[in-house]
Amino acid sequence: MSKEVTILDIQRAKAEGRKLVMVTAYDYPFGLMADQAGVDLVLVGDSLGMVVMGLEGTIEVTMEHMIHHIKAVVRGCKSPLVIGDMPFMSYNISVREAIHNAGRLMKEGGCDGIKLEGGVDFAPTIEAIVKAGIPVQGHIGLTPQTASALGGFKMQGKDAAAARKIIDDAVALEQAGVFSIVLEAVPAPLGKLVAGAVKVPIIGIGAGPDVDGQVLVTYDMIGLFDRFVPKFVKQYAQIRNIILEAMKAYKTEVLEAAFPAPEHSFKMPEETLAQLKAMIKE
């Protein structure tokens, strides 16, 4: 199925000065809403491990999990590009395995491109995947799959050396052939410097306003996930409270026999009911 938004559109956005809008989705309803909202990209992120599956992190997410959720999101997205996240250890062992797994996300999941974490060290892997004909989006700064090695879910690039490394990572990914880069949890001035260092779009999540686009986890943005809310998230709604109150109201009405009311029940003709009762008595 051809998309209204293409990889070339994403690549051109930066030169045209047009901001890119990206959100996450993990199932068909949210994919459909992202499509109707008119976003450019939809990421089926391995964050689904935490916000959908209730895991402590993303490490336990498998290829099968990702393919399952990608297929559902793709069904709802006619216009935006759907990007599938490469889960932990699906691209870390060898270039050959990385290409194979990236191909699985594309063939079995049906996504339009893949995303993987890592900078300079993973540039050769990314270059090989791109040469295989698979569009790649990079991810640098805070990389959740290796957050423990980075000191947890904390801002990255605090000192000059660490900040310079992130810039070097962006340059390496551009040279490897990525069509865009997600930059997570870095100081806003560094976000601006990274965006200025490369020609590919930098899509920020906690990277300040001076990048080429923004991405947020939808469950955070609409207040559906409350285990923690990152500093960089703006909540545009509090859907969880609405859903919780609806469930409580439902429980109350069931206990009080107020639901289902006559308008929620199917009717039976009196003649049929009388015949049924007669049959029961026989």
Enzyme catalytic residues: 184
Which amino acid is it at 155?
Answer: M
What span, in angstroms and rounded, lies between the C-alpha atoms of 200 and 189?
18
Say if residues 240 and 49 touch (Cβ distance below 8 Å): no
Question: What contacts 24+ positions apart, CB below 8 Å, involve 142-145?
Answer: 142/184, 142/185, 142/186, 142/206, 143/117, 143/118, 143/184, 144/46, 144/47, 144/57, 144/58, 144/117, 144/184, 145/46, 145/58, 145/59, 145/87, 145/88, 145/117
Say if residues 128 and 91 touch (Cβ distance below 8 Å): no
Residue 99: C-alpha distances to residues 54, 68, 128, 130, 206 (Å): 29, 19, 7, 9, 30
Which amino acid is it at 118?
Answer: G
What span, in angstroms and rounded, lies between the C-alpha atoms of 214 and 235?
14
What span, in angstroms and rounded, lies between the C-alpha atoms of 185 and 239?
25
User: 3-state class of 236 per DSSP?
Assistant: coil
Which amino acid is it at 55?
Answer: L
Place of tokens 């880069």: 181
User: 3-state class of 202 per DSSP?
Assistant: strand
